[in-house]
Amino acid sequence: MKKVLLTLALAATTLLGYAQEVVVMDKAMFIDKVFDYQNEKEWKYKGDKPAIIDLYADWCGPCRKVAPIMKELAKEYAGKITIYKVNVDKEKELAALFNATSIPLFVLIPMNEKPQLFSGAADKATYKKAIDDFLLKKE
């Protein structure tokens, strides 16, 4: 009974947007939720909250190092930002869109500005500062 109640509670918080995970993104999702680069020439973000796109590969050591940090940040900033991850080996077109010649590469997408790239692995405090100062800054 406890297990059923816990499962229901977790499902409810996920549905309400309180528990958020890193979302695996493919090209179709990118076009639908981030930017339709096939039909638009100028950047126009489609999201309803700031986002981070983590461009990574399974074989990349630094990428594996930051993956748990991104999971923690997705939970800490649930409802405030969305964190996506894109496997550059599977989504070569998206990797090329951001000129991902080295990974990990993070695309920081604020609501009303152009995205900025953040290259390389860092500690959690560095990512939190980027989120707070760039993605969630007060206008």
Options 63, 69, 78, 109, the catalytic residue: 63
For residues 129 and 133, what is the distance between their CA atoms, to the nearest angstrom? 6
Options 34, 60, 66, 69, the catalytic residue: 60
CA nearest to 84, candidates 40, 28, 14? 28
130 carries an active-site annotation? no
63 carries an active-site annotation? yes
Instruction: Give me the active site residues, please.
Output: 60, 63
